[in-house]
Structure formats: structure tokens, C-alpha cells
Amino acid sequence: MKKWGFLLVLLLCLVLTFLYNGSFFESKADLPNVEVQKYDQSKDKRASGNSQQKDITEEQIYQGNLLLVNSKYPVHPESITSDVVDLFKHSELVNGFGLLDRTYLSENLVRKFSAMMAAAEKEGVSDFFITSGFRDFDAQRKLYQEKGSAYALPAGYSEHNLGLSLDVGTTQMAMAEAPEGKWIEQNAWKFGFILRYPENKTDITGIQYEPWHIRYVGLPHSAIMKEKGFVLEEYLAYLKEKKKISAKVKGEKYIISYYRFSENMTIRIPENHEYEISGDNMVGVIVTVYE
């Protein structure tokens, strides 16, 4: 009888260990505290006297952090980030992670990634390596010719050609099982990153599960996507449908508006507020105002 009792306790411990270490659930502390509401249009009328006019050009459709790149929407030359550096020549930027090969990356992006790595290290997760960063069209074309469509995408159709994505690995084990992979999946949103190709969204992204591939979209977008379980395709479709939403993330308030581009287009933005404009790489722009 004692033997069966011992085995039952052992089995229970194994089950609890699996649930704790696995992706069965996430701590509430790891989930974003996001409030998303339909925007109160009456606020526009009340604030119309305290706003500035902003011209929107067609080029802005193809610039910014929310650009969708997939088999339908390739990277435009004006979409590529302009601050790409060779990390082998800028060792001062390599903090909290290693490099497995010569790596090019946006300087702004690598600083944001380093901040995320510092947070991970404080939680005891620190064996990170960047395995791939920015690739220009020539490098992407060569990779596609050498590896084929099972491994790579044609030049211009990979997020790596954009400059906002990177592949992250660890020397311990596969990222899907490693503490590093689990930490990124649960916490990347806090730093503006998303897991671009999650396991259950292959039918939408068209790309197999890649637990190593992260993409920068910025806050509050990463938090909203995490909260709603959206991939980028779904999030942009959501913004197109809603047109304008208000969001509260970590106590900070935002107004996010979607505009379909038209000739001689102007929009109004509240004065004395920070804002960002990003295209969607399709037909419109997203304006994020920090209240």
C-alpha cells in the first residue's frame, strides 16, 4: 500500500512539474495588462481646435515598424531600415547575447534587444545567441539558391530583408524546449517584440512554426497582439476593421488609428503629443498617438 502511495505522489509531482515548466499556462505577471476600447469619436470634435495637420505621402505606406512582409507583400527598397551595422565591428552593441556568425542588424533594434536580454538575465535566463539578422537582397537570393524553398524565401519576401527581425538561439537545446525560447514567448511583448510565426497560426502566416524568429513592432502593438493572440496579419486586419481604438498598456494610454491612403491625404494629430506613423506595406498607414 505504501508503495502505491509513493508512486501516486511521484506521478503527481511529475505532472505538476510538466505544467509548471511547459507552455500549458503562463503566469498572470507574464500577460499584458491591456484595455482596448472602441474610440469615443466625440473626443475628436472636442480636440479639433488643438490639433495639427499632417500630410501623408504614398511612400509612408512602405515605412515603419508595422509593415507586413509575406508571400503577397514584398519588401520595398524604401522599407529597409537605414541604420544597419555589422555587429562584428561594433562589439560595444553586443550585450547579453553572443553571435554565431557575422551578423548585421539595425543599431536601434539591437539596443532594444539588449534591453530585453538584460531583463532575461535578471531572471536567470542568459544563454542567448543571435543566429541571423538583417540580410540584403543579394544575401537572401544566395541563401535561397543554396538552401531552396524548404529553408529560405526568395529575395524581398523575407522579414530578414526588412531589418526588423532576427533569429535567436541557444546552445542548450532547441528553442521550442529551451528556457530561452519559453522566456521570449512569454516576455518579448514587454519590449515591443513578437514571436512572428507561432505554432498555431501557420495557416495565416504561411510559415511553419519558428520559435526562434522574433520581430519588432513596438509598444503598444506587441502588447495588444499578445493579449488578443494576434499575428501581424490578424492585427492589421483588426485595425482596418475598427479604424480607431484606444488602448491602455501598463498605465500608458494610446490612440491607434488606421487610414487607407488616398491622394493629397492629410490627417489631424493632437498637438503636444508624441506620435508614430507606420505603413502596413499594403494600402494604408497606422498612426499611434501617445496620450
pLDDT above 70: percentage of residues in the chain = 84
Q: Are 50 and 131 in contact (CB under 8 A)?
A: no
Low-confidence winner among 39-43, 167-171, 184-188, 271-275 (lowest mean pLDDT): 39-43
| One domain, residues 233 and 269 | yes
What per-residue confidence (pLDDT) applies to 70? 96
- 207: helix, coil or strand? coil
The pTM of the full predicted model, rounded to 2 decimals, is 0.87
What per-residue confidence (pLDDT) applies to 34? 75
d(CA 222, CA 112): 13
What per-residue confidence (pLDDT) applies to 215? 98
Q: 201: domain range?
A: 75-216
> Quick check: is 5 in a domain?
no
Which of 107, 177, 210, 234 is flagged as catalytic? 210
34-38 and 84-86 as β-strands: parallel, antiparallel, unpaired?
A: unpaired
**Exposed/middle/buried for 64, CB within 10 Å: 0-12, 13-18, 19+?**
buried
What per-residue confidence (pLDDT) applies to 126? 92
| One domain, residues 59 and 118 | no
Q: Render pLDDT for 2-18 as a digit per residue (tens, 0 to 9).
A: 445 444 444 544 433 44
> Quick check: is 137 in a domain?
yes
Instruction: Report the number of distinct structural domains present in the chain.
Output: 2
Is position 274 annotated as part of the catalytic site? no
| One domain, residues 211 and 222 | no
Q: Render pLDDT for 156-210 as a digit per residue (tens, 0 to 9).
A: 999 999 999 999 999 888 999 999 999 999 999 999 999 999 999 999 999 999 9
Q: Which residues contact 201 (CB under 8 A, 6 or more apart)?
A: 231, 234
Q: Render pLDDT for 232-256 as a digit per residue (tens, 0 to 9).
A: 999 999 999 999 999 999 889 999 9
